[in-house]
Amino acid sequence: MNTRTTLLAVLVITGLSAAVLPVAAHHSFSAFNTTETKTVTGTVRNLEWTNPHIWLWLNVPNDKGGVDVYGFEGMSPNFLERRGWTKSTLKAGDKVTVDYNPMKDGKNGGMFRSGKMENGKTLTMGGSQ
């Protein structure tokens, strides 16, 4: 190989690597302890129906008589809409029990696995039931 061909090959490989790395990083679950599942019950504070992933924020009563805010990352709105969710599936004030994989750093919240509303409706990242 001559120098020009080698340089071109290095540039192509570098460019492809740079394009793939953000996609791989985006789908990392490294922030969550996926070997553990926890459960909390709280009141919906807010549902952020945004790409690339939704965020559900709950007010969860603590043992001091106050409220702790928990945040749960979910799938994309597009993915969830195809499975029966809408941006109004959970509204501020709704009570919900959430099963989740906790954050590795100990912060309140994690990756949403499933939820159960007061009316008995079950919500999963695979869809609502």
Confidence of residue 13 (pLDDT cuts 50, 70, 90): low
Tell me how far CA of residue 79 lies from CA of 32, 53, 73, in angstroms.
Answer: 20, 9, 13
Confidence of residue 27 (pLDDT cuts 50, 70, 90): low
* Assigned CATH topology for domain 38-128: OB fold (Dihydrolipoamide Acetyltransferase, E2P) (2.40.50)
Confidence of residue 16 (pLDDT cuts 50, 70, 90): very low
Query: Residue 44's pLDDT is what?
Result: 98
Read off the pLDDT of residues 69-104 as tens digits, 9 standing for 90 and up: 999 999 999 999 998 899 999 999 999 999 999 999
Query: Cα(15)–Cα(9) distance, rounded to whole angstroms?
Result: 10
Residue 8: pLDDT over 90: no
Read off the pLDDT of residues 36-52 as tens digits, 9 standing for 90 and up: 999 999 999 999 999 99
Query: Residue 17's pLDDT is what?
Result: 46
The answer to whether the CB of 47 falls within 8 A of the CB of 57 is yes
* pTM over cut 0.85: no
Residue 112: pLDDT over 50: yes
Residue 26: pLDDT over 70: no
